[in-house]
């Protein structure tokens, strides 16, 4: 019996994990989840493509399973995500005839359809938030709104959301969530690479501007899809501190520490091939990270891993995609592919 991660950190922040509904029926995985974590988030089933695949046809079955699990086990629940450019059905961005709202030949078409799109996102959020408002502790209201490669100066991602509404979809999303979820709800803007420039500053400027415009935001979600060697702990500290200084909460929302650089070489095809020194180097990264989180615990309320054990991670898809032979195994968590404790587990449980 090894000590519980969530118990170790209970005075500092919640410890969360991303799950799929079927994981909750897997006895070993569910047991680890209950023992070591105090918060859950849906890895996929609360995204718009799952919740409202066709206009007006809501599918809550799988999302409900996760909500029920959180309630039964007295865990916090993060909702991921109300608005995103990915895993969103095409119908959102189609006009009443089923044609794309964004038409290069006809720039005015976007303006004509703007209200329709804003109405749709308002309706989606009203329905979802009304259903789950008593169960959710933190909402990812918008996800990945910044794109450093965007051609606009503010670095706003030029998704259909942006092309059709500018930044109005962001305001509409926060206003609607606040109105329906109430004053006590915790509303987050979530993104990746928040540690580094230029994204850090773009995100900061966006959030500061929204706050100045009276948009009610409680915190920044830092996905933290990071690597053993990147980013530095100083960059991470700086980013968390900047948002804390704005008066905001921070949550670490999708933590995983890839054993590869970027792009991932995917050089290991199985977990067994990963050398011990790589797992030791990963433990050092986890060590400095959790020391920082503890040091800054008054401005961090939740640290969520994007999975539980190394037998299920979205990073395997990426490692395989970029690998020469089309197969790559990553190992980003503190539990191994067989649920044993890794050096990274001992690093975050050790007091030295
Ligand atoms: C990923 C899931 O883990 C995968 O299963 C799915 O195929 C794609 O999405 N940033 C996010 C998450 O905000 O929603 C993504 O999750 C990972 C990157």
Q: What angle do CA 230, 351, 332 make, to 5 degrees?
A: 35
Cα–ligand 1 centroid distance for 64 (angstroms) = 19
Number of helices followed by number of strands (H, E) in the chain: 12, 9
- Encode 301-316 in three state secondary structure: EEEEECCCECCCCCHH
Q: What is the pLDDT of residues 292-342, one digit of tens each?
A: 999 999 999 999 999 999 999 999 999 999 999 999 999 999 999 999 999
Q: Does ligand 1 come within 6 angstroms of the Cβ of 44?
A: yes
User: How far is 239 from 304, CA to CA, in rounded Å?
Assistant: 17
Length of the chain, in residues = 352
Burial environment of residue 208 by CB neighbours within 10 A (0 to 12, 13 to 18, 19 or more): middle
CA distance 127 to 120: 11
Residues 7 and 135: their CA atoms lie apart, in Å, by 22
Average pLDDT over the chain, rounded to an integer: 98
Region of 347 on the Ramachandran plot (φ > 0 left; ψ -120 to 50 alpha; else beta):
alpha
Question: In this structure, are residues 96 and 116 in contact, taking their beta carbons and an 8 Å threshold?
Answer: yes
* Residue numbers annotated as active site: 254
Name the residue among 5, 83, 73 with its Cα closest to residue 49: 83
Q: What is the pLDDT of residues 259-285, one digit of tens each?
A: 999 999 999 999 999 999 999 999 999
Position 132 scores a pLDDT of: 99
The three-class DSSP label of residue 102 is: coil
Checking if the pLDDT of 126 tops 90, the result is yes
Enumerate the β-bridge partners of residue 19. 42
Interval between CA 111 and ligand 1 midpoint (Å)? 31
pLDDT digits (tens, 9 = 90+) for 70-83: 999 999 999 999 99
Q: Does the pLDDT at position 352 exceed 80?
A: no
The answer, yes or no, to whether any atom of ligand 1 lies below 6 A from the CB of 314, is yes
Q: Ligand 1 atom closest to Cα of 192? A: 10
Whether the Cβ atoms of residue 249 and residue 280 lie closer than 8 Å to each other: no
Separation in Å, CA 51 to CA 3, 64, 139:
37, 11, 15
From 306, 312, 318, 320, mutation site for ligand 1 pocket: most ligand atoms within 8 A of C-beta: 306
Question: DSSP states of 59-81 as a string?
Answer: --HHHHHHHHHHHHTT-EEEEEE
Centre of ligand 1 to C-alpha 255, Å, is 12
Nearest alpha-carbon partner for 80 in 59, 49, 117: 49
Atom 4 of ligand 1, nearest CA residue: 314
Measured in angstroms, how far is the CA atom of residue 108 from the centroid of ligand 1?
Answer: 33
Task: From 222, 225, 254, 312, give the residue whose CB has the most ligand 1 atoms within 8 Å, as the site to mutate.
Answer: 254
The whole-model pTM stands at: 0.98
Q: Specify the ligand 1 atom closest to the Cα of 143.
A: 13
Is the CB of residue 143 below 6 angstroms from any atom belonging to ligand 1? yes
Instruction: Show the CA angle centred on residue 10, arms to residues 134 and 237, nearest 5°.
Output: 100
Neighbours of 108 (CB within 10 A): 8
- Closest to 117 in 3D by CA, of 179, 166, 47, 60: 166
CA distances from 203 to 104, 196, 243, 246, 251 (A): 28, 10, 10, 12, 15
The answer to whether the beta carbons of residues 199 and 146 sit under 8 Å apart is yes
Ligand 1 atom, smallest distance to 253 CA:
13
Strands (E) located in 23-109: 39-42, 76-83
Closest-CA residue, ligand 1 atom 3, reads 314
* Separation of CA 44 and ligand 1 centre (Å): 7
From ligand 1's centre to the CA of 54, what distance in Å?
A: 21
Regarding the beta carbon of 271 and ligand 1, being less than 6 Å apart is answered no
Helices 233-245/199-212 angle, 10° precision:
10
Angle, alpha carbons 218-223-228 (nearest 5°): 140
Nearest atom within ligand 1 for CA of residue 84: 13
Ligand 1 pocket test, candidate residues 16, 18, 44, most atoms within 8 A of CB: 44
From ligand 1's centre to the CA of 146, what distance in Å?
16
pLDDT recorded at residue 351: 82
Cα radius of gyration rounded to whole Å, the chain: 20
Other residues' Cβ atoms within 10 Å of the Cβ of residue 322: 15
pLDDT > 70 fraction of the chain, expressed in percent and rounded: 100
Residue closest via CA to ligand 1's atom 13 equals 143
Q: Is 223 a pocket residue for ligand 1 (Cβ < 6 Å)?
A: yes
At 230-266, the pLDDT tens digits run 999 999 999 999 999 999 999 999 999 999 999 999 9
Distance from C-alpha of 127 to C-alpha of 123, rounded to nearest angstrom: 6
């Amino acid at each position: 019996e090894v000590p519980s991660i969530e118990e170790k950190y209970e005075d500092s922040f919640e410890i969360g994990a991303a799950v799929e509904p079927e994981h909750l029926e897997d006895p070993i995985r569910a047991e680890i989840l209950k023992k070591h974590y105090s918060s859950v988030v849906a890895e996929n089933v609360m995204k718009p493509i799952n919740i409202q695949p066709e206009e007006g046809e809501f599918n809550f079955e799988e999302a409900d399973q996760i909500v029920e699990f959180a309630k039964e086990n007295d865990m916090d629940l993060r909702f991921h995500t109300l608005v995103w450019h990915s895993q969103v059905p095409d119908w959102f961005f189609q006009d009443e005839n089923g044609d794309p709202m964004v038409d290069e030949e006809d720039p005015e078409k976007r303006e004509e359809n703007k209200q329709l799109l804003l109405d749709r996102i308002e309706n989606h959020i009203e329905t979802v938030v009304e259903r789950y408002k008593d169960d959710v502790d933190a909402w990812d209201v918008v996800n990945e709104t910044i794109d450093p490669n965007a051609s606009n100066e503010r670095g706003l991602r030029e998704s259909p959301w942006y092309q059709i509404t500018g930044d109005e979809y962001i305001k509409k999303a926060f206003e609607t969530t606040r109105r329906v979820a109430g004053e006590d709800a915790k509303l987050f803007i979530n993104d990746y690479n928040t540690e580094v420039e230029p994204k850090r500053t773009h995100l900061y400027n966006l959030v500061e501007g929204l706050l100045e415009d009276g948009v009610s935001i409680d915190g920044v979600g830092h996905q933290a899809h990071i690597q053993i060697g990147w980013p530095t702990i100083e960059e991470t500290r700086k980013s968390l501190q900047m948002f804390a200084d704005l008066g905001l909460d921070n949550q670490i929302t999708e933590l995983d520490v890839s054993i590869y650089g970027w792009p991932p070489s995917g050089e290991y095809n199985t977990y067994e091939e990963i050398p011990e020194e790589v797992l030791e180097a990963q433990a050092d990264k986890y060590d400095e990270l959790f020391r920082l989180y503890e040091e800054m615990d008054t401005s961090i309320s939740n640290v969520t891993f994007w999975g539980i054990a190394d037998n299920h991670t979205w990073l395997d898809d990426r490692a395989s995609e970029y690998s020469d032979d089309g197969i790559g195994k990553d190992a980003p968590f503190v539990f191994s592919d067989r649920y044993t404790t890794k050096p990274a587990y001992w690093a975050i449980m050790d007091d030295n």
